[in-house]
Chain A
Amino acid sequence: MISALASTVVQHDLRWLLLLICAWGGIGLAGMLRQRSLLVVRVLFPLGSLTCLLVAILAGVFLASGQASQAMVLPLGLPDLPFHLRLDALSAFFLLILGVAGAGISIFSAGYFRVGEGTSPGLMGLQYHLFLASMAVVLLADDAYLFMVAWETMALSSYFLVTSQHRIPEIRRAGFLYLLIAHVGAICILLCFGVLQGGSWLFIFDAMRSATLTPLLASTAFLLALLGFGAKAGLVPMHVWLPEAHPAAPSPVSAMMSGLMLKTAVYGMLRVSFDLLHVRFWQWGVLLLALGLFSALYGAIFAAVQTDMKRLLAYSSIENVGIIFAGIGLSILFETCNLHLFAALALCAALVHSLNHALFKSLLFLTTGSVLHATKQRNLGKLGGLIRRMPWVASMALVGTLAIAGLPPLNGFVSEWLLLQSFLFTPEIPHEFVNMFVPLGAAVLALTAALAAYVMVKFYGVVFLGQPREASLADAHDANLLERLGLVWLALGCILIGVMPQLALRPASAVTRKLLGQSILPTGSIWWIAPIAPKQASYSGLIMLLGIVGVVGITFLLVRLLAHGRTRRVATWDCGYPYQNARMQDTAEGFGQPIRHMFGTFFRMERDLPAPEESSPHYRIRIEDRLWHAIYQPIARAVQWLADVVGVLQGGSLSIYLLYSFLTLIVLLVFVL
């Protein structure tokens, strides 16, 4: 009975998914009925969360069933180009991410949104569920038009979510920048599809798959895709919108954007480079690798000097996206050198990291949301000591922190480990220089990972540990039940994948089998993963966890039994310094100081140093992105200049206008002659 049901579900997976997407739409619209009622939020978001869960289950079932793909054509869209949908392993994997992380974020949102904070809850619900639905459609789209429609709907709905507190000028500015870059990126993607169709002028993905492109055209398409999807993913130098927009949004929305929306860009990049393009060149791999690693390093360095907790996390997203793109690049590099197994390994790492990042970044953004609600503070310099006021949030944040810092036995480590493993095989690449330089990438990756740990220690330490830096923090309250539920869900995800990486590797392998025809070594054992060969390298998060827990437990018992000293609570010692207070702790700026010192060339810094005799000395430092000044401002200036030049044309004098039309006439007449 159940198996029969399961098999029908599997056969009509895509239809069910479509139904669920429609359900999101319905949930969103239902919120419009009672726009200002909070009850709507408390009821609808859990329903949305349930839908997410069902999506994840359906995607998981599809991946497990090993089907090739399911396709469908809807009677909507352009007359000659109806909406095509297709569910295959790649889209199913990303739907899985969407479902799993989305479920946690939605249930958290149910407890998070309030009346009177920007957009009314009902409208927020509409935008939120539209956002979810459009992301799902992006993943399922099988023609360029539907893809673009869903892609831009995603951008638009998220834009409205970002600007929900639009009374604040910075938020408006962030929203504008976000939508602008998203739009420019979308134009690039559109162009990319235009190149990809390869003379068939059919914008169905199937036609693109069978198109044969010259190397030049293929490279053009790849570069356009890189620009377009890179802009969405926040690859340096198209990243400028990200640290503005993510902090501006309400925290669950930041979580969605960072955790899920960036993944759609990864999906798009994979879809174009591995599925739609029939050839790949190793230079692409190198480019992607270099760009990815640079973004990773750049993001990590900038994250280390941030003073706003959400900006810090946003930069950390740039870092993680960089790691994912580096994995994709490495995979392309291997694949073009016919090292398919290693390509599968690298791709697997990228995919698993996508999933992991979705989990821990959402988790962390949600905790910042709770902190924000409890303290009304985003500035790290005014937080501190929240672990005592908000134990739930703090402990969940600790899981996220450890996971994102890439520490075993949590999930962040798994993907970084896989990626480092794949770097080990770069000497096999038959291109001189490349095989010498690429191993250095592993060092950059290691540096990034270690910097990420630095960043996260800063984040967690400054927000949750130490003494409260402001008196008002004393009345911070812990997250409510629904919020906790969401946090726990995501934290459990982090732990589970860290301990049982197979849970993520199996679906990822289904994807690599589809894209590369190869997957890393499956192990039957639940204890180990050994992607290439057990002798080569193996890892077991479970044993690590059990080992640490076991040793800690035994030690604790032994110490308890043998060394049973009492514990006294005393004042802080601090080398006996008596005037100790909260302001003497390292601030966010202080913690970032070594990074500023070492990577000074990356930043554009402005320091206000107090004069020696000042009665109330004040030290301030402003850090800006060099790339903003180097790339974006010149473009803006150029446009402004052109606009000024053009403005002369409309000078107000009728005679001059008449002269224009006269000259036009003459010129055209000469042209006709």
Chain B
Amino acid sequence: MRGITFIRQFGEVILAIAIAPLFAGWIAQCRAWMQSRSAPLVTQPYRMLRKLFSKDAALAETASPLFRITPYVLFGTMVLAAAIIPSLATDLPFARAADAIALIGLFATARVFLSLAAMDIGTGFGSMGARREMMIGFLAEPALLMVLFNASLLYGSTALPSLVDGYRAHPTIIDPSVIFAAVAFVMVLLAENARIPIDNPATHLELTMIHEAMLLEYSARHLALVEWASYLKLFNYACIGFALFVPWGIAIHGSDGGGVLALSIVALLGKLVVAGSALALIETLSAKLRIFRAPEFLAMAFLLAVLGLLVHLLLGVR
């Protein structure tokens, strides 16, 4: 029994690592389609990773060990996060190590490391990126926390697997607050993953970039790990969203067997496809905001999440 859960846990992590670049590739492809550009292959991220891994690394003279260790830490935290989030099943032995709040903490750890590494070299771009990244972070975190609060109020837990279980236990209830929370979550997701309208993953325009500014000095395997970590982050966020709002298809506690697992994999892939195209659509439809409009955007997210909370408290659905 224990063995099986550990294997499942391991499998889930491997799957996450494997398909995270695919998800990014899928979004890029959708975006290109929607913007009537010729699309890169959906496997483009894998190619890039492979190319980067095979190169020699060029490290700035001033880089400290912190700079070199950060890609690994980033990758490690994201993998750990993937182990905690119930993307396929809820009976995960690792999930008990961290509830949703700890998950936010984990993401924050990654963010702090990345920002520190960006400041390590001592370039203007690096520190600017770090500053902006931290700014987005402290604005997004409260909003995300409110979203999770909302969910945990519904099901009386902050542990993600318990949330999913709880949802499955009362599938008939759809709380009106969920809608607010979902919108808020999507906004946070966009901000946290360097997406339009906050950031643009495809630009190196100095005045606007946030995430990319921090990666300027990375190369080869380090860059590959950082990129992979950011694919994983996007994937993780998507999975959190699925767990919170559309948990259909996730194997809950006690439901064993290969069939269920296969079904849940299919469900996950399906949800990713839909979510990816939706994200691409949002990105296509919106324009990049000036950096100082970002607080307004995130304040909006926060407001929505709080509204959801209040709606829940007011309507008192329990």
Contacts and interface: CB of A to CB of B under 8 A. Distances in A.
A565 B83 CA distance: 29
A535 B159 contact: yes
Q: Which of B122, B137, B141: most chain A CB closer than 10 A?
A: B122
* Those 7 A-B pairs whose CB atoms lie nearest each other, nearest first: A466-B122, A450-B138, A586-B127, A467-B122, A461-B119, A543-B97, A563-B53
B313 A454 contact: no
Given A439-B149, A590-B127, A446 B158 contact: no
A551 B53 contact: no
A115 to B, nearest CB: 34
A565 B121 contact: no
A461 B53 CA distance: 28
Contacts of B59: 567-570
Q: Which of B66, B126, B149: most chain A CB closer than 10 A?
A: B149
Given A551-B80, A555-B72, A586-B127, A528 B96 contact: yes
7 contacts: A408-B109, A417-B105, A450-B141, A536-B158, A547-B83, A586-B130, A594-B131
A453 B112 CA distance: 7
Interface string B217-228: 100110011000
B123 A420 contact: no
B177 to A, nearest CB: 12
Interface of A: 384-385, 387-388, 398, 402, 405-408, 413, 417, 420-421, 423-424, 427, 435-436, 439-440, 442-444, 446-447, 449-451, 453-454, 456-458, 460-462, 465-467, 528, 534-540, 543-544, 547-552, 555-556, 559, 562-563, 565-575, 580, 582, 584-586, 590-591, 593-595, 597-598
A555 B226 CA distance: 12
Given A402-B109, A439-B309, A568-B57, A547 B94 contact: yes
A436 B313 contact: yes
A594 B119 contact: no
Contacts of B140: 450
Given A539-B102, A565-B55, A580 B123 contact: yes
A298 B229 CA distance: 34
Contacts of A427: 153, 313
B16 to A, nearest CB: 12
Given A417-B102, A465-B64, 13 more contacts: A402-B109, A423-B149, A439-B313, A443-B142, A443-B306, A540-B98, A556-B72, A567-B57, A568-B58, A570-B60, A585-B124, A585-B126, A594-B132
Q: Which of A456, A552, A566: most chain B CB closer than 10 A?
A: A552
A283 B25 CA distance: 54
Contacts of A535: 157, 159, 162
A424 B149 contact: yes
Given A424-B153, A569-B59, A597 B292 contact: yes
B222 to A, nearest CB: 9
Contacts of B221: 559, 563, 565
Contacts of B99: 537-539
Given A408-B98, A572-B121, A454 B134 contact: yes
Nearest to B93: A543
A544 B135 CA distance: 25
A406 B121 CA distance: 25
B76 A457 contact: no
Contacts of A559: 53, 221, 225
B108 interface: yes
Given A443-B142, A536-B159, A573-B217, A457 B112 contact: yes
A596 to B, nearest CB: 12
Q: Which of A406, A443, A582, A591: most chain B CB closer than 10 A?
A: A443
A443 B148 CA distance: 11
Nearest to A598: B295
A424 B152 CA distance: 8
B131 A590 contact: yes
Nearest to B77: A548
Given A572-B62, A575-B125, A461 B130 contact: yes
Contacts of B104: 446
